[in-house]
Amino acid sequence: MDSTICTIGFAGKTAEAFFSLLTEAGVTRLIDIRENRAGQLSGFAKYPDLEFFLRRAAGIAYFYEPRLAPSPEIRKAYRKTKDWSAYEAAFLQLMTERGIPQSLDLEMFEGTVALLCSEPQPEQCHRRLVAEIIRQYGSLKEYNIQVRHLSINRKKRSVRKKERSPA
């Protein structure tokens, strides 16, 4: 099996940028790995609106996998300490306790799939950790899984703003 796991966060993105990143990457399936998919700040990223927009605007299938979300306790501890290494260790332990990745159906990740969370960048986000867990597990099964993080090109965005402003 060959696949690409893209990761994307909705924070700091307009709906146009978010959906453009997904379609330009060729994503056919989005897996929402947030614990709370209805309480997020961006209106376009709330469930069930997100599922509707993905299907209608981009032809992308929506799935929800809360087992890949951090627990409230892990998030709360991170907000308090800002200790990423402690967060990462706790999250990886939680994944082990949940039987991740062994309990996942790797066929869900066939083709070009996106993992969704809220963080704008992947460096300190659990979606990056999940993508790496799946990539490593897939390689043990002789699957070719690439990981790609989708984000806004800041230079393009600033150029676009300049073009739109009055002379």
- Specify the pTM: 0.89
Q: What domains does the chain contain, in order, with CATH numbers?
A: 2-162 (3.40.1010)
Q: What is the DSSP string of the chain?
A: -EEEEEEEE-TT--HHHHHHHHHHTT--EEEE--S-SSS-SSGGGSTTHHHHHIIIII--EEEE-GGGSPPHHHHHHHHHH--HHHHHHHHHHHHHHTTTTTTS-GGGGSEEEEEEES-SSSTTSHHHHHHHHHHHHHHHTT-EEEEEE----HHHHHHHHHHHS--
- pLDDT of res. 40: 57
- pLDDT of res. 142: 93
Mean pLDDT of the chain: 91
